[in-house]
Amino acid sequence: MLILPRLSQIAFRVAFPALILLGLTIPLTAHAQGNAHMHRTDNAQRGSNMASDASTPSPYVGQQHRPVKSLSADDMAELRKGGGWGLAKAAELNGVPGPAHLLELSAQIPLSSDQHAAITALYADMKENAIIAGNRLIEAEVALDAAFKAGGLTAEELEGLINTITQSLGRLRYVHLSTHLKTPEILSPDQIARYNSLRGYDG
């Protein structure tokens, strides 16, 4: 009658540590599986993001149809009409007026008739030379574009084409900036200050 209780006690002592070990192992296994799933999910997400980045369109899309790839239609129009193209900022933003805006603001500055005539002559000369220089710059960019399109361009040929573009752009910038240099000779200090105030540069 005492044998069965003793056997039960022995079986319990043997089985109890195994049950404890099993109880610890199951949560650990589940945790490991969960981490593996999370790692797979993260890796898949990173792969998806990389694929998305790789398929992002270039900001240049559409520009491949330009007649001259490096110049927009607005750029070419500005160059052909002798516009400033932002090349005179070094003078304009340092308080040295340009003839085009002086003429626009002539009544508010104001300009005398002699001053108006002198600045009008400056502007006409600048515009004539800027058109010539602008067209040369366009021609230089056309030549570079055509060379890449044709293929077989050598490094030496490329250097020559770029030098021509650089010289054309330098000449165009000189035309604009050198004209700005001449306006202070025609204006009074008060008129220059008024010009800069009207242009919003006195803030």
pLDDT of residue 131: 98
Q: Looking at the structure, do residues 70 and 36 belong to the same domain, yes or no?
A: no
What's the domain range around 90?
65-198
The predicted pLDDT at position 19 comes to 40
CA pair distance 83, 176, nearest whole angstrom = 9
74 and 44 in a single domain? The answer is no
What is d(CA 179, CA 97) in angstroms, rounded to the nearest whole number?
A: 9
* 114 and 167 inside one domain: yes
Q: What pLDDT score does 53 carry?
A: 55
Cis bond before residue 110 (omega within 30° of 0): yes
Contact predicate 78/85, CB 8 Å? yes
Which tokens in the block code for residue 126?
């600048």
Asked if the structure places residue 203 within a domain, the reply is no
User: Which of these three, 18, 38, 56, is where a domain ends?
Assistant: 56
Same domain, 129 and 105: yes
Q: What angle do CA 163, 169, 175 make, to 5 degrees?
A: 135
* Residue whose entry in the numeric block shows the structure tokens 């610890």: 24
Q: Are residues 70 and 87 in the same domain?
A: yes
CA 199, CA 141: separation in Å to the nearest integer? 33
Interhelix angle 155-182/113-150, nearest 10 degrees: 170
Q: Per-residue pLDDT for the chain (203 aa), expressed as one digit of tens each?
A: 444 444 344 444 544 444 444 443 444 444 445 444 444 445 555 555 554 555 789 998 988 888 899 999 999 999 999 999 999 999 999 999 999 999 999 999 999 999 999 999 999 999 999 999 999 999 999 999 999 999 999 999 999 999 999 999 999 999 999 999 999 999 999 999 999 999 999 87
Residue 162 included in any domain: yes
Same domain, 29 and 88: no
pLDDT at position 32, please? Answer: 44
Question: What does the block give as tokens for 111?
Answer: 């300009």
Which pLDDT does position 54 carry in this prediction? 59
DSSP letter string over 111-178? PPHHHHHHHHHHHHHHHHHHHHHHHHHHHHHHHHHHHHHH----HHHHHHHHHHHHHHHHHHHHHHHH
pTM comes to 0.72
Overall number of domains in the chain: 2
pLDDT of residue 55: 76
